[in-house]
Amino acid sequence: MPRLPVNRFGRNGLPVDDCLFAVTAEEKNAVRLVCLNKHARRIGLTPGMTLATARAAAPELITVAEEPLRDEAFLNALQRWCVKFTPWSAPEGKDSLLLNITGCARLFGGEAAMAEQLRQELADMQVETRIGIADTKGAARAAAHFGAKGETIIAPGDTRAALARFPIDALFTDEKIIFELKRLGLKRIGDLYPLKSSDLARRFGIGILRSYEKLLGSASDPVSPAATQATLAARMSFPDPIGLTEDVSEALNRLAAQVCKRLRQHAYGLRSARLSIYRADKKQIHVEIGLARPTQDTGRIVRQFALKLDKIDAGCGIDMMRLAALQAEPFKPVQKRFADAQKQDDLDELVATLGNRLGFDRVLRWRPMESHLPRRTFRMMEAVRQTTKENWRADAARPLMIYDGEPIEIIEPGRPPKSFIWRRKTYTAARIHGPERIGHEWWKGPESDAVRDYWRVDSKEGARLWLSSKPQEKPHRWEVAGVFP
């Protein structure tokens, strides 16, 4: 599939066939063309050309940036689609698929008929192809890249003769070796036939010899099928459109039960899921939820979706529903004491509920850190990122809530202030304990502003605050460093 990135953009609705179009990427400190449509190739633009040069030759050229991850996902999707032709298939590079069709071609009427059907169905999906069929993987790859346009079929037993006219690039080995071979006048595969294998290995290394043997079938080069990914999804179609919340909820329960069954079969736990609703008027509604911990519990999944079902507009009715796992992680059941397990489950469900309502990036927790300075003994992190139970060091001399210094407005000065305003509320000191001076962490180097004095202030309003100031600072600037329980 020599123009896979362009074809993928065309499938997404871009007019790649109606203009000069190219996909670009940054290579060697310059933006270069990596894939072009037929109109751009016709006027002389080539892959590897810098974008500035291409613009000078064709100012009307339309370009988009390369999306390698989406291209890879599209290639993997095509590999899974090829299961209808053969169970042995695998991606090859960024734009190729390898299929082992041994014993499968006869089911389609022969190799030529199979290749034509494969080419036609991919053309219907707006994907250009060049197909090569041969006895060996290397020969088939060479036929697809350097053979005639369309399909190139090398008959059994004719591999050596057919490859003789192919360029030396068909070895698919190191570029430096290819350049050296061309410099010596070896421009075609047939030019290597009179040479001894020992001479090739001595001059160019064992790598070219292995590529040469795999190309001609002298060495084994099997197609290793890509690992099949578990399908963690389920769908349900309805004979008549539904619209009642009770019906949608019942369908969701059944879908969640099927997905959890597959999760248990593959030892996975669900972290996020998407519910897709297909209405009778062809409109689609997608609802996504996340979970604080991987789970195989149907009830926990349904409860998170139940919070959003009331906002779903069924319109003229719902024809189909599909529940799919967006993120799944290996799941290992752990034996816990009942009370601890129940507390952890309740906390996980609370985090998931708040995260689905507010966003998981807004649900934070404190994580203890090893530091001598109070303001560095913790940091904020997303609650869903907690993987282990953290142990806090209990210290009665330290407040439960520690802040990174919140300034106060002084009403009646003193050391510490006798009256002040914090968070729009006035506090008056009743009892004062301190000061406690805490220096910098000398093992991390000198810090000019690390030395602070801390005071515990019991206010008449009932709050117990921890005030701090820098002794070297004149006048003193007071801050709230924490709140005692």
In a domain, 379, yes or no: no
Distance CA 456, CA 433 (A): 5
- Asked whether residue 344 falls in the same domain as residue 250, the answer is yes
- Asked whether residue 241 falls in the same domain as residue 336, the answer is yes
DSSP for residue 188: B
In a domain, 228, yes or no: no
Last residue of a domain, one of 216, 241, 263: 216
Do 142 and 132 meet the contact criterion of CB atoms below 8 Å apart?
Answer: yes
Do 275 and 329 meet the contact criterion of CB atoms below 8 Å apart?
Answer: no
In a domain, 472, yes or no: yes
- Asked whether residue 295 falls in the same domain as residue 260, the answer is yes
Nearest in space to 428 (alpha carbons), one of 416, 444, 443, 440 = 416
pLDDT at residue 389 greater than cutoff 70: no
CATH number, residue 8: 3.40.1170.60
Percent of the chain's residues with pLDDT above 90: 41
Helical (H) or strand (E) element with 6: helix 4-11
- Asked whether residue 79 falls in the same domain as residue 210, the answer is yes
Say if residue 416 is preceded by a cis peptide, omega within 30 of 0.
yes
Mean per-residue pLDDT, 439-453:
68
In a domain, 390, yes or no: no
- Alpha carbon separation from 465 to 309, 422, 424, 457 (Å, rounded): 45, 10, 15, 5
Helices 68-81 and 4-11 cross at an angle (nearest 10°) of 90
Give the pLDDT confidence of 9-62 residue by residue, as tens digits: 999 888 888 899 999 999 878 999 999 999 999 999 999 999 999 999 999 999
As for how many domains the chain has, the answer is 4
- Asked whether residue 323 falls in the same domain as residue 242, the answer is yes
Distance CA 352, CA 115 (A): 50
- Asked whether residue 258 falls in the same domain as residue 302, the answer is yes
CATH number, residue 291: 3.30.1490.100
- Asked whether residue 92 falls in the same domain as residue 180, the answer is yes
Give the pLDDT confidence of 233-273 residue by residue, as tens digits: 999 999 999 988 899 999 999 999 999 999 999 889 998 99
In a domain, 370, yes or no: no
Helices 175-183 and 197-204 cross at an angle (nearest 10°) of 110
Q: Quick one: tokens of 166?
A: 């192919």
- Alpha carbon separation from 158 to 144, 154, 166, 209 (Å, rounded): 16, 6, 13, 20
Arithmetic mean of pLDDT over the chain: 86
pLDDT at residue 442 greater than cutoff 80: no
In a domain, 225, yes or no: no
- Asked whether residue 145 falls in the same domain as residue 208, the answer is yes
Distance CA 251, CA 238 (A): 10
pLDDT at residue 66 greater than cutoff 60: yes
Domain of residue 277, residue span: 233-354
- Asked whether residue 181 falls in the same domain as residue 258, the answer is no
In a domain, 371, yes or no: no
